[in-house]
Structure 1
Amino acid sequence: MSTASHCHVVIASAGNGTRFQSVIPKQFHKIKGQAIISHTVEKFGRVSCVKNIVVVAPESEELMMKMKEVLQRQRTESNKIIITSGGKSRHKSIFQGLLRLKNKLTKDYCTHEEWLNEIVIIHDGVRPFVNTDDIERIIIAAKKHKAAGLVKPLVSTVLKPNSDDVLELSLDRSLYWSSEMPQAFHLGVILQAYEKCSEYDFENGTECLHIAQKYGSVCAKLLKGDSNRLWKITLQRDIAAAEALLNGYENMLLVLPNNIALRQNVSSTFGGISVCCIKEVDELILKNMQIFWLLNIIDDLLPNMEHVINILHSHKNCRSCHLIIFLIDSEPLTVDDNTRLKYWDSCHQLLKFDVLTQLVVKKDLLNKGMEELLSLQTTVEKLPPGQILYF
């Protein structure tokens, strides 16, 4: 690969995962026995020209210690990994990572000019699916153009509302691309751009290419990346798809709620996984497939329980792995008694099937102290350790 002799990586992983709605920031959630951030770091550790990987951790002392603990078990060479604390915003965290890298290189090199033109890759800690080919392409493009970023076609049309939330403008999505990660820069260019950055852009911006263009006077080269892998773990439902991708997603079926817009979005996001709604599940299409059910029991399973039970019965003796994930929420606590009774009965029916290998349960459900919830907890705890994911 004809890149610079060395390149470096800054991985932004200082977020608290507000949209993920979890006590534990999403970068620490485990997939295949490893934290998401570990999978991401490992991808860059495999690239031979990567010399330093700066991981920007959350500011809190507790989460900083957790990051150190997680990355101590990393298979990537430990001398490559540098952990530093982030700031109050994404851009401030990235800037902190760049400054930490600058300090490291100042000690390693004789002169300032030696490292100014080396390549630094900026990436997100919760994007573990980037492949080596895209990393190498972005390095080559950044070496030539001083800034480069991966993109993919827009899935949805972008709408601009007015102050009353009435449609004002609709953009032609064929003219636009979605900005993705990783992005790469001459280190001197992006570092100096951040040094000039306004407080407004530090607080409100998210786009590194914009910072480089606005304050570094460079125009980035845009490269189309692998659409199947250019996505970010953002919501709870992304964990199931992440498991599928990291296990290899041939013959995978993701069963989603009966929501056409959601299905279209997930289908385009997760590329290689077959997607259908619960009403479309047919035992004929399930042979030799690994199934991920990502459903709400009240809205999706109860109205279709007979159909689901028949499908599960047809696969009861199937030797292939079927991972079934249920998002069990707090709705039973607020619906009528008859619906609640059906809810718990359905839970117990589903837990009887051997094909159930993982259950996703909201923690506060098991802390309510109600008899029916404790009954479910007893049933759940009969599953082998590691088969229950709490959030």
Structure 2
Amino acid sequence: MGCAAIIVASGSSQRMGFDKLAAPVRGMPVLAHTVNAFMAAKEITRVIVVCPEERFRLLDEVDCIKPLDRVDGGAQRQDSVANGISLLGPEDLIVAVHDGARPLVRPESIDECIAAARQFGAATLARALTETIKKADSEGFARYSVDRSGLWAMETPQVFRTSLLRCAYVSLAEKQLTVTDEVSAVEAMGISTKLVTSPFPNLKITVPADIHLAAALMS
């Protein structure tokens, strides 16, 4: 049962002021670290990177032990994922969608999510919230606590039976819905996703300081 990875790497990095996916971390671009993790995952059979052609060149030094393809991104994240899905063939029965800006993901975590998706149809790496959560007002003052029991922060990869994710994206287009991740896409169809505990740091590079933090976590 083939499993394809779709790595979403088409964002503009406006909040960073520079291309965060090209930023060097321990001698290698962020995006290359991400792709290498999927090359090393035992269950992944091919990798599709959704990105501009010039960003794809960041992967010239990646050891491509599995097929590596590229497709252009879309206006929104879900459009980029849909473009990746369009490259999947009948042999790609499972698909793992991952943020290109999460270079710390472990191959074993990827494989664990894939195993859960094979069993349940949908699975995602996630982290139970442990901090105190507050609801803020429009002026930025904390007003009351939110019960964090049962609350989880979604991470990636988010892994699905390909037929399920295809149906979810067709449904989004028909209903003209916008979602921020694939778990939300299948949720809109009434499908629940199995949460797989994220035991290792899986930082998403968002602000410049994250580059230094990622380098420290890799050491």
Q: Is TM-score (shorter-chain normalized) higher than 0.5?
A: yes
Q: Which has the higher helix share?
A: 1
Aligned to 1:97: 84
Specify the SS of the correspondent of 1:19: coil
Which of 233, 237, 256 is the aligned partner of 2:209? 237
Deviation at 1:155, TM superposition (A): 4.4
Deviation at 1:91, TM superposition (A): 1.6
Residues 41 and 76 of structure 1 are in contact (CA less than 8 Å); yes or no, is this contact kept in structure 2?
no
Deviation at 1:167, TM superposition (A): 5.1
Residue identity in the other structure for 2:44: V
Which of 198, 205, 210 is the aligned partner of 2:184? 210
Deviation at 1:84, TM superposition (A): 0.7
Rg larger for: 1
Which of 183, 193, 198 is the aligned partner of 1:225? 198
Matched, 1:73 2:51: no
Which of 24, 40, 48 is the aligned partner of 1:54? 48
Aligned to 1:335: none
Q: What value does the CA root-mean-square deviation take over the aligned residues?
A: 2.0
Aligned to 2:170: 195
Q: Give, in whole Å, the separation in 1 of the partners of 2:57 and 2:165.
A: 30
- Show CA shifts across 1:27-70 (max 9, x none): 1111122111011001110123322211011xxxxxx2322322
Deviating 4+ runs (over 6 angstroms) = none
Query: Tell me, which stretches of 5 or more residues in structure 1 are unaligned?
Result: 58-63, 249-391
Q: How does 1:275-294 map to 2 (within 5 A)?
A: none
Residue identity in the other structure for 1:85: D
Alignment coverage as a number of residue pairs: 217
**Pair 1:237–1:166, CA change in 2 (3 A):** closer
- Show CA shifts across 1:135-193 (max 9, x none): 11101100011100111122433333455656565311233111111110000101110
Aligned to 1:8: 4
Deviation at 1:80, TM superposition (A): 1.1
Residue identity in the other structure for 1:67: R
- Show CA shifts across 1:220-269 (max 9, x none): 1111111x4222111111111111222x2xxxxxxxxxxxxxxxxxxxxx
Deviation at 1:90, TM superposition (A): 1.4
Q: Give, in whole Å, the separation in 2 of the partners of 1:129 and 1:8.
A: 19
Residues 203 and 214 of structure 2 are in contact (CA less than 8 Å); yes or no, is this contact kept in structure 1?
no
Residue identity in the other structure for 1:83: R
Aligned to 1:314: none
Query: Tell me, which stretches of 5 or more residues in structure 2 are unaligned?
Result: none
Q: Give, in whole Å, the separation in 1 of the partners of 2:143 and 2:97.
A: 34
Q: Give, in whole Å, the separation in 2 of the partners of 1:69 and 1:164.
A: 44
Specify the SS of the correspondent of 2:49: strand
Residue identity in the other structure for 2:21: Q
Report sequence identity in percent. Answer: 28
Residues 149 and 181 of structure 1 are in contact (CA less than 8 Å); yes or no, is this contact kept in structure 2?
yes
Q: Give, in whole Å, the separation in 2 of the partners of 1:99 and 1:132.
A: 25
Q: How does 1:105-124 map to 2 (within 5 A)?
A: 105=89, 109=90, 115=92, 118-124=93-99
Q: TM-score, normalised by structure 2?
A: 0.90
Residues 151 and 222 of structure 1 are in contact (CA less than 8 Å); yes or no, is this contact kept in structure 2?
yes
Q: Which has the higher strand share?
A: 2
Which of 145, 153, 157 is the aligned partner of 1:178? 153
Q: How does 1:252-271 map to 2 (within 5 A)?
A: none
